[in-house]
Amino acid sequence: MINSLRDYIALLDELGWIDHITDEVELLQIPTIMKEQEQKRRTVLFEHVKGCRSPLINNLFPSRDYLGRLFSCEGRDVTRVFAERYEASIPPVLVDSGPVQEVVLGKGEFDIRDFPFIQHNAGDAGRYITAGMVIAKDPVTGVRNLSFNRMQLKGPDRTGFRMSPTQDLENYYNKAKKLGQNLEIAVVIGNSPYELLAAACGPARDVDELGIAGALRGAPVELVKCKTVDLEVPANAELVLEGYLVPGEMEPEGPFGDFMEFKIQMMDNPILHIQTVTMRKDPIVQCIGAGSKDDGTLLSTPREAQIYNVLKAANADVTAINLNLVNNYLTGVAAIRKQLEYEPKNLIMAAFGSFKFLKNFIIVDHDVDIFDPKDVFWALSTRLRAEQGVMVVPHTVGFGRDDHGIHTAKMGIDATAPLNCWDEFARVQPPAWPPES
């Protein structure tokens, strides 16, 4: 069972799916190598980073095949299996101790710049934490939330901290501001893949993502209590930064290259004050390149499961869903066995309603390989009836950071063949070989 990042690395070693770089590398070298590894679709572990105390791992999810191994299924079936497990919940359990607290460092005993957090892009303001799973609790209800937030290194014990206006975490932040109190934060780095996927789910506000992580794994997540904040963190993680945000305290943060591969300009964001670092004796740090295949797979897989469940609830015969055509989850495609002529339009609207960031959604027939963009474009070229198959919905809620109105409309495309005309639209196949006797 995969209970930690180290268990996952051991699995990848067994499969031969990870490259270990044993030569010493400079921090600024790493992003270029990460791009090369993305093209190879292989995880990479930098064992010696110059001037840093820890190894660095990247590209945990370079393809759906990696997720298939986690969920014991074929890559194209990951969405279905994830969706089935997502509906359940296995609550976490509290334990007395764990590897993540083998070393405890207080104020003045650590410098977060000693860890291999990197500058990802040429225009970035500096080095960033990009794979930190943030844990916080609603200051009123006590409900726990997991999220991902970028953090710009600003000193030995402080970072800039970016929250999306639609995140549960900002809701907690605003509640803390009204109460006149700080918001306690734990940043967990070096997590098992199940915790990472759960943190990307974005469920209803009263749902604990750690229960989802347990359901994905099939066993509860073990937690330990933090040393200086009233939070619990996965016992088998690599590294935890315990600290707090002071509501109303803001500093310039950025620029930073985001998941759409554009540069986000400098803006005022809160500051994370770090009180304590707990970690394994030899922690492994993870980073995620925004807009990479790794990033896209992590963020899109839970949303695929969410949409799959919504479409299945509408009695659609869904064979596959892919929200990672272009390394972000703004455009997706689903394959179905069509039962009614205008059914795809209803399904498109259901998908838009279930995930507000979704901008473009295409529905194709079951014989189209939706994981191959060429095959999706083949369906657009050969089966789309544009006069009735293209639907534009203006004035909708989309991705929030949108000064130019690029995400305020949604486009749905029905690229399925006409109903009951399969004899005309079935794809030709080579003759059977060997011939049937």
Beta bridge partners of 160: 271
CB 111 within 8 A of CB 240: no
β-pair type (318-322, 285-287): unpaired
The whole-number pLDDT of residue 399 equals: 81
Three-point CA angle 4, 5, 7, nearest 5°: 65
State the distance between the two ends of the chain, measured CA to CA, in whole angstroms.
Answer: 46
Question: DSSP of 320-387, one letter per residue?
Answer: EEES-TTSSTTEEEEEE---STTHHHHHHHHHHHH-TT--EEEEEETTS-TTSHHHHHHHHHHT--HH
Query: What confidence tens digit (pLDDT) does each residue in 394-404 have?
Result: 999 888 777 88
Question: Hey, what are 130's tokens?
Answer: 């990009």
Give every CB contact of residue 141 below 8 A, 6+ residues apart in sequence. Answer: 206
Identity of the residue numbered 153: L
Dist CA 202 CA 136 (whole Å) = 14
Give every CB contact of residue 132 below 8 A, 6+ residues apart in sequence. Answer: 148, 149, 151, 187, 188, 189, 241
Q: Where are the alpha helices (DSSP H) in 218-361?
A: 293-313, 343-354
The whole-number pLDDT of residue 266 equals: 85
pLDDT band at residue 166, thresholds of 50, 70 and 90?
Answer: confident
Q: Which class is 314-424 in CATH?
A: alpha beta
Rounded to 5 degrees, φ, ψ at 331 are -125, 135
Query: What confidence tens digit (pLDDT) does each residue in 67-103 have?
Result: 999 999 999 899 999 999 988 899 999 999 999 999 9
pLDDT band at residue 417, thresholds of 50, 70 and 90?
Answer: very high
pTM of the predicted model as reported, rounded to 2 decimal places:
0.93
Q: Which CATH number fits domain 5-287: 2.40.50.140, 2.30.110.10, 3.40.50.620, 3.40.50.2300?
A: 2.30.110.10
Reduced to 3 states, what is the DSSP secondary structure of residue 245? strand
**b (16+ CB within 10 A) / e for 385-409:** eeeebebeeeeeebbeeeeeeebee
Is the sign of the CA dihedral 210, 211, 214, 216 positive or negative? negative
| Angle subtended by helix axes 64-71 and 293-313, to nearest 10 | 60
Q: Smallest Cα–Cα separation from 196: which of 4, 397, 416?
A: 4
Query: What confidence tens digit (pLDDT) does each residue in 255-282 have?
Result: 888 876 778 888 899 999 999 999 999 9
Dist CA 105 CA 290 (whole Å) = 30
Dist CA 354 CA 305 (whole Å) = 11
Query: What confidence tens digit (pLDDT) does each residue in 313-368 have?
Result: 999 999 999 999 888 889 999 999 999 999 999 999 999 999 999 999 999 999 99
Dist CA 119 CA 130 (whole Å) = 10
CB atoms closer than 10 angstroms to residue 340: 11
Note the Cα 166 to chain centre separation in Å.
16
The whole-number pLDDT of residue 52 equals: 95
The whole-number pLDDT of residue 264 equals: 81
Q: Which of 129-133, 163-167, 297-301 has the lowest mean pLDDT?
A: 163-167
Question: Which class for 78: exposed (0-12), middle (13-18), buried (19 or more C-beta within 10 A)?
Answer: buried
Mean pLDDT, residues 369-382 taken together: 96
Q: Smallest Cα–Cα separation from 329: which of 346, 365, 305, 310?
A: 305
Mean pLDDT, residues 211-234 taken together: 97
Mean pLDDT, residues 136-140 taken together: 96
The domain limits of the chain are 5-287, 314-424
Mean pLDDT, residues 59-69 taken together: 95
Give the whole-number percent of the chain exceeding pLDDT 70: 100
Q: Mean pLDDT across the chain, nearest whole number? A: 94
The whole-number pLDDT of residue 205 equals: 86
